[in-house]
Amino acid sequence: VEAKKAAAELAITEIQDGMIVGLGTGSTAYWAIQGLGARVQNGLRIQAVATSEASEKLAKELGIPLIPFADISEIDVTIDGADEVDPDWHLIKGGGGALLREKIVAFSSKKLIIVVDESKVVAQLGAFPLPVEVVKFGYELTIRKLRALGCEPKVRVADNQPFVTDNGNCIIDCQFASIPSPAELHQAINGIPGVVENGLFIGMARKVIVGYKDGSVGSL
């Protein structure tokens, strides 16, 4: 907890009056939203968009003003977590199942700041199974096409039921032996009809803040 919180607290120091802020999802982004809530209560003036129903609910509880997507063209800064970060700042995201909304928000953000604890920093992506969001229709076929890319695909389950995303889709967790070429794999997966989006975030992060067990922080 200390490591995640420390990274999140450093990240929110970048947020200033008047900014439109993207709120990430997960247990690290949680601390960023908490910290922003405290600053809003102390007079910080921001407007926010959330990357999940859960983060939206938390923001509302904390009194962070939310703005409809229709009213914005760009987001100043988004703070989000990740499941893996490599030395090129490519990411695997979607452990919490919010990868589609996270990628939509990240793509329209001037700056994406990633907050992680040290356990997420890897030399090469792929030990963490890559989450892929797929539509339910014909997903047995979609899964076969994913397997043909060289992974062991598994339908994500929650409470003994297939996990359903905020967008009404399924998540297939794809275990590759390793992911030596993340950009190519990203293209190949998104080229399969039935795939909505995958958890590889290539060249999107503009800053990575790493929290350590002793509460110290550093940049990657």
For strand 20-23 and strand 75-80, is the pairing parallel, antiparallel, or unpaired? parallel
Task: Number of residues interacting with ligand 5RP: please give it, by CB under 6 A.
Answer: 18
State whether residue 22 is helix, strand or coil: strand
CB 199 within 8 A of CB 153: no
DSSP 8-state assignment for residue 76: E
For strand 200-201 and strand 91-92, is the pairing parallel, antiparallel, or unpaired? antiparallel
26 or 194: whose CB is closer to ligand 5RP? 26
**Closest CB 210 distance from ligand 5RP, rounded Å:** 12
**Closest CB 167 distance from ligand 5RP, rounded Å:** 12
Examine the residue annotation and report whether 102 is marked as an active-site residue of this protein.
Answer: yes
Using the structure block, give the residue that is written with the tokens 């090469």. 124
Cβ-based burial of 171 (10 A; exposed 0-12, middle 13-18, buried ≥19): buried
Footprint of ligand 5RP on 68-97 (CB under 6 A) = 80-83, 93-97
**Closest CB 117 distance from ligand 5RP, rounded Å:** 8
27 or 47: whose CB is closer to ligand 5RP? 27
Query: Of 56, 102, 133, 197, which residue is the catalytic one?
Result: 102
Reading the block at residue 122, the tokens are 């890897």
25 or 71: whose CB is closer to ligand 5RP? 25
Pairwise CA distance, residues 22 & 20, whole Å = 7
Q: Is 98 in the site for ligand 5RP (CB under 6 A)?
A: yes
Please choose, out of 12-20, 25-33, 66-74, 162-170, the segment that lies near ligand 5RP by the rule CB under 6 A.
Answer: 25-33
**Closest CB 24 distance from ligand 5RP, rounded Å:** 6
Handedness of CA 120, 123, 124, 126 (dihedral sign): negative
* Contact set with ligand 5RP (CB under 6 A): 24-29, 80-83, 93-99, 102
